[in-house]
Amino acid sequence: MAGARHGFLIDEPHAVVNKTIAHRLAREAKVLAAVRALGASGLVDEPTLLAEVYAETPKPLHAVALRSLRAHLLKLRDEGVVGGEAGGLWRVR
């Protein structure tokens, strides 16, 4: 059992952490697939990626989803997988 500084006690913290990691890795794979598919002929912008990657996310949450999308893109950029341009344009390297 684990207790956070806020929220409820977590009975199985390892399972929760593993599930969260799996979700983030799956989302990262979805981001990369979208950059590959939508940017196949050049650069793809963040609004287009957001609409594709977070299609199942309610529109009122898209501002938060955009921050998550950018975090994935920056990680992938730092790993040399994607390249970013000014203005939020992305491509596969």
pLDDT digits (tens, 9 = 90+) for 32-69: 999 999 988 899 999 999 999 999 999 999 999 999 99
Determine the 3-state secondary structure of 92 from DSSP: strand
Domain annotation covers residue 82? yes
Question: Is residue 5 one of the residues assigned to a domain?
Answer: no
The verdict on residue 35 lying in a domain is: yes
How many domains does the chain contain in total? 1
Instruction: Quote the CA–CA distance of 32 and 80 in Å, as a whole number.
Output: 12
Domain limits for position 30: 13-92
Mean pLDDT of 62-77: 97
Q: Is residue 6 part of a domain?
A: no
Indicate the pLDDT class of residue 11, thresholds 50, 70 and 90.
confident
Specify the long-range contacts of residues 51-60, CB closer than 8 Å, at least 24 apart: 53/27
Note whether residue 7 is domain-resident.
no
Is the residue at 51 inside a domain?
yes
pLDDT of 2 reads 67
Q: What is the mean pLDDT of residues 26-31?
A: 97
- CATH number of 67's domain: 1.10.10.10
Task: Determine, yes or no, domain membership for 73.
Answer: yes
- Its pTM stands at 0.86
Give the chain's mean pLDDT: 92
